[in-house]
Structure 1
């Protein structure tokens, strides 16, 4: 069904608005959110090429189904050898336009034929120009397509006039669907119902025949079977390309997901490796501590066993039973003894003051003197403790002999804590001459 074409720009706008918004029994199959784009593309096309007329007409697909579509019917200009020609064309907007490219045909008049073996026009008149084949939704439009096709026609004209004594094509056998051929070129103009009156461009096309002297004088009639085959191949190729594109997108998404998983696994592998190294280092340190403590426990047990017998017989001297292991331990022991003695002196002064054996003036004077001395003793003790801590860390961080983790075989300094307060929390780690210099 064809609605009357509008004659003015305002009429075209109103007509397009009416047919696009028509929700009757025969309505256009375009998406509502794309109707504004379709309307604007068609208005731009007919404004740029006034020789085209907008229509609403029935289109028959290759599978025999029919649908009402918008189309532009008319002529496009073509300049061949500096001479202007008018190429009759029909431009259809498919259901998925503009996501799919338009369908374009050249429509030869009764005195014209399609150029055999044309570079981008098949025998049925369907146009496969580079612009249509590379259509991109959002960037391509009808005006640019028509301009590009017009230039391509100028390089390779698709039509020329029938030579004299051109034999009419044989009638093909009646197909199962009567409109099957119309699916390839819906603008069917049978010569039996039209008068073969040359238009204003008839003489031009006659000249075009002379310009195309290289063409055979009697080209064979169009082969409908070959046309159907090419159309089917083109449709199948389009579907395969779509399937391959979707498969490629799915494969790309899977690869991206696998790369992300690989990166995450690599990150976790590094974290696990660092954790293993940390645990192994801690294990070695603990093994060294265990061996060291085992050696010290064995030495202490041996010392106790030997000196318990001497204690019974009275041979043990309390002053010589335990001696400092080194100079720092000796300073720590002497400082702690002096600190404890000063604590006892301060305690005795408190008792004397409470018993009124001392006057407050004498008490304050003595306490001030003792506290000053205790401060110096404790400051020295803190320096000794810090030095012992440095030596202890250097001792434990020193590399052991290859294949051996026993650190207790080498005597080293021990840490003596000297916190501020009434007394030290540790008496230090001292050594006995009987333990052969081992720290116990």
Structure 2
């Protein structure tokens, strides 16, 4: 799929495209595609994802760590969201940089600057960080058959191979070493208890000048007593326990940080929910008040209708009452003027039908027009006296 089409909904297409192409030119084991990302609130959005592996050097061996980078549609103004994506033969190693879900936390992401931060720099920071703190380790496996490498080459038909990662001639070569010509396995489980001691004649924790030979063969190196062996074993056990405790403390601290972030998000969500509940309560109170007002008005109208139905005789002159004589004079003048206008209309209809002749029509219209003019003048004067609009 063309990268420009994939980025058609992004706000900064050219900047994002350049950043992605610069990264893919350096790390060809990464591929891009448009996929749906689900946020913490359950919402979904189609975002560009970069999926594949990056080479990480750990203890002089190169490991290919699978990752996934999601670019926000506001890239590069917002930092990407990064995950470690372990295959079926790996476990996530929780640390201050990776949580139990595989989400990556780096200072580079936290301090992301749109003008100075880019994907290439992000990958380089990941490589350095994961070189010191591997984010995954391999699951325990059975001993390989003679002549069999620890892990097969990609695409060799092994059931644990994950086909979701890119397979092409551009895949970075694996280093050759003493693992039967294949690439080395993923970093071993640091918490595993079956890691063997080095095959050597030296006791763990003993100086290189001492060995486990009998005392009469020690020669110039001195005599090894049971106290020496006991002290050596105690020192080895202490070192091993110290390393395990240190790793366990780091793991717990990383989990605590993750829980703190989750707690902060939950507290922010609680505040938002409380604001929504308070707003709903205010709306409910306002709605109840409006319902009560409508019920009162309905009762008033019902009472008025009942009174009108019981009163058969309605005095037309008393149907409309005024609060002052001036208003009554204004109403009477308006009613008379309206009656004169109707009379002029019907006289015109009588002339048109031949009921009256033109002379009678003109005489009556002249008289009625004079009265109409006087009534209109009276209304204008009453309105001025009452302070009403003209």
Return the index of the structure with the highest Cα Rg: 1
Confirm or deny a common fold (TM above 0.5). no
Length-normalised TM-score, structure 1: 0.37
Length-normalised TM-score, structure 2: 0.41
